Structure 1
Amino acid sequence: MTGSAEVAVVGGGIVGLSTAYALSQQGVAVHLYEAGLPGHGQSAGESRIFRHAHDDPRLVAFARESRGVWAEWAERFGVELVSSDGVVAIGDSALARLRVLDRVGGVAAHAIDSAELADRMPLLAGYSGPAVFDETGGAIRTRAAIKALTDQLGDAVVTGEVISIDPHSSTAVEVRSVTGCAEYSKVVVCAGRETARLARSVGLSLPIRLAAHVRLTFAVKAAAPTRVACLQDGSGDFGEVGVYAAPLPGNSRYAVGLSETVGVRDDGTFIDPAAVRSLDQRARKYVARALPGLDPEPREFVHCWVTDLPWSEDGLAVWESGPTLFVAGHNLFKQAPSLGRALARAATGDGLAPELTP
């Protein structure tokens, strides 16, 4: 660990990195604790979807703000962070979310016909139902984002699992890791599945349901398409409701996953181990039916933890306990830039934004 710091951030996924970077941009001395390599826990993989569409208008507004920060970072770091090919969503749920987007405003999204859908998403089998295109959505270049933020933080990244958080007073919190012990005026915990454990150490019981997720990567059969949008399929026309897919850099591979997750006990064991294999098999069958442009035999797998909140599949909340903030939620990668700035403001005395309270 290099020098002293005012704020500690626990967890080196995209939310922790965004928060630590926002603090550093404010001129705050920060340490970021990560047990392993940054971005290799719940933030693992090469691609995620940036989408504006949500059922909750507050999350739409938050995503709209985050998209602006993604663009700002791309220019500052000199690297593409969100692809320019947009997101297509199919099914009645897409039209319902389009109505929310229209109500919030400021997002370029519109209904499209089957011809435009085929042009935007050439890997998809024939489909003539409801479809929506989010123009400034796209595939988040996750590894580029993780690397850029990690590089910016430099020696502020501390390798070591945090084993305890102990508030000594309203202005001092002791953080013990496997490699040391230090005191901070504020601590922000965004440690994925470990967040609930660390919250219990200060008397908070967070309503997190721990689950596991499976995401498979498939190769494009022919030449990589020049452009290909991300996909959200809520139609059920191809045998599944709740599928998402995103191209990897170069468009020669496509990551596909079901929104469904597998329940996990508090100790990390699966409630039904066979369910993981079932999600894998269902994703393969979906690809064979819906995405004939892909080789149905997966090339890569990503298995990661999910921290669900009970009120929404896109649930997000921040709990405060004295000088410590605890962040939990699901599908947070797209929201990380704005969430990091909001957490940095809260950690430096500006208060927590109302939309982030549980």
Structure 2
Amino acid sequence: MKIAVVGGGVVGLSTTVELIRLGHDVTCLEAGEPMGERSAGDTRIFRLAHAYPDMVELAGRARRLFPEGCVDGAGTVVSGDGVESWASAMAAAGATHEIVAAGSRSLRLPATDIAGPILVDPAGGVIRVDRLRTHLIGIAHRHLRRARVDLLERAGDRVRIWSPDGPEEFDTALICAGAETSGLAAGVGIMTPPALEHHVRFSFPIRPEAPRPLRCWITLGGFGTYQHSSAAGTWAVGADVDPVLVSWAGGREAAEQASRDAVTAYVARELPFVEPRVVGQLYCTHNPDLSDGLQFVRSGPILTIYGENFMKFAPLLGAMLAEALIDGSTPPDAGPGAR
């Protein structure tokens, strides 16, 4: 089959690699750098821990498919309101986990005053995105085409894709283009949430006296955070900043400053083993209307995926999407938006 993958992020590249393995004629179209924007950076959190059993099960399947050396198994901790439902989901999926008290020696976090209950996911850890990027591009590079996709349209039972080079027809196509997904999908009658907001993750130096190795950490609640080891000796922190401060209309510069102020204040107040001094930042766009789930929509030969936090499912998504493109099926949704 002649297949187009529109978007060269981690999902697009993972799908391209699987289609190459299966022997299909696949082209991955990406206007910018492969695994830029939402797949950028050097690290992400991996976790089995989720609030829905189907997401826990999918994360477990994905973990087994990551290339060797792409996930460091330091473990992931989840704390704050709602931990009990996450633990119930892990239990329902048969995933190993533990509920521990504040002060437990198993936590290994850059803070000492942690509100319970606290969930430990021993299978969690850090995804080494730079290694995964190298692996995927190393296989897919001959199938990558630097091209901006302006439009997709149905051409009978095939797909016509328009770029500055002109139109080209394919047997089937996948739209997984990050912030561009909503606009491209709407052109073929697929409606996905279009809202965007600015998001920034910041890195701070880890103090020498911090426990080692540090576990990844997710805090639930109003000022929710995700935190993990990043580049050597640094701690990455992203947070749920007030939506008014990071709105798309407010502009990137204002959102970056508001995020920096909020996250730095949190680090100074809550993380005694981290210096409140920004040494790096990673910007991306975020859709506030999407949650930690997987949604798939098909219109004839065109398949679309949307959601958030795809990185930890990447190799499994590649296999699922490749199969669906080949046989014309639609994978089942997972998580809070599952139908």
- Establish whether TM, by shorter chain, passes 0.5: yes
Change (3 A) 1:213 1:259: same
Q: Secondary structure at the match of 1:42?
A: helix
Cα RMSD for the two superposed structures: 2.3
Q: Which residue of 2 aligns with 1:351?
A: 329
Counterpart amino acid of 2:101? D
Between the aligned partners of 1:261 and 1:16, the Cα distance in structure 2 is 31
Q: Which residue of 2 aligns with 1:22?
A: 18
1:147 equivalent to 2:134? Answer yes
Q: Which residue of 2 aligns with 1:199?
A: 185
1:185 equivalent to 2:171? Answer yes
Change (3 A) 1:115 1:223: closer
- What does 1:1-358 align with in structure 2 at a 5 Å threshold? 6-70=2-66, 73-74=67-68, 80-105=69-94, 107-116=95-104, 118-127=105-114, 129-170=116-157, 172-222=158-208, 226-234=212-220, 241-250=223-232, 252-260=233-241, 262=243, 269-270=249-250, 274-309=254-289, 313-349=291-327, 351-355=329-333
Deviation string 1:264-318 (CA, Å, 9 cap, x unpaired) is: 88xx6437974543222111111112211111011111110113445xx213211
Between the aligned partners of 2:138 and 2:274, the Cα distance in structure 1 is 35
Deviation at 1:336, TM superposition (A): 1.7
Asked whether the equivalents of residues 125 and 289 of structure 1 are also in contact (C-alpha less than 8 Å), the reply is no
Q: Secondary structure at the match of 2:258?
A: helix
Between the aligned partners of 1:272 and 1:304, the Cα distance in structure 2 is 10
Deviation at 1:177, TM superposition (A): 2.1
Q: Secondary structure at the match of 2:150?
A: strand
Deviation string 1:110-162 (CA, Å, 9 cap, x unpaired) is: 1123343x554242233362211111111111121112101111210111111
Counterpart amino acid of 1:83? D
Change (3 A) 1:223 1:154: farther
Asked whether the equivalents of residues 342 and 352 of structure 1 are also in contact (C-alpha less than 8 Å), the reply is no
Counterpart amino acid of 1:123? P
Asked whether the equivalents of residues 15 and 319 of structure 2 are also in contact (C-alpha less than 8 Å), the reply is yes
Between the aligned partners of 2:242 and 2:138, the Cα distance in structure 1 is 33
Between the aligned partners of 2:236 and 2:99, the Cα distance in structure 1 is 24
Deviation string 1:23-78 (CA, Å, 9 cap, x unpaired) is: 112221211111111111111122111112222222122111111112xx22xxxx
Counterpart amino acid of 2:300? G
Q: Which residue of 2 aligns with 1:77?
A: none
Between the aligned partners of 2:257 and 2:231, the Cα distance in structure 1 is 27
Change (3 A) 1:177 1:225: farther
Deviation string 1:58-106 (CA, Å, 9 cap, x unpaired) is: 2122111111112xx22xxxxx21111110111242232011110121x
Asked whether the equivalents of residues 111 and 130 of structure 1 are also in contact (C-alpha less than 8 Å), the reply is yes
Deviation at 1:15, TM superposition (A): 0.9
Between the aligned partners of 2:318 and 2:202, the Cα distance in structure 1 is 28
Asked whether the equivalents of residues 183 and 194 of structure 2 are also in contact (C-alpha less than 8 Å), the reply is no
Change (3 A) 1:262 1:301: farther
Counterpart amino acid of 2:263? A
Between the aligned partners of 2:242 and 2:310, the Cα distance in structure 1 is 16
Change (3 A) 1:272 1:188: closer
Counterpart amino acid of 1:255? A
Unmatched tracts of structure 1, length 5 or more: 75-79
Q: Secondary structure at the match of 1:114?
A: coil
Deviation string 1:242-270 (CA, Å, 9 cap, x unpaired) is: 111011154x11110113474788xx643
Asked whether the equivalents of residues 122 and 228 of structure 1 are also in contact (C-alpha less than 8 Å), the reply is yes
Q: TM-score, normalised by structure 1?
A: 0.86
Deviation at 1:338, TM superposition (A): 1.4
Change (3 A) 1:147 1:308: farther
Paired-residue identity, %: 31
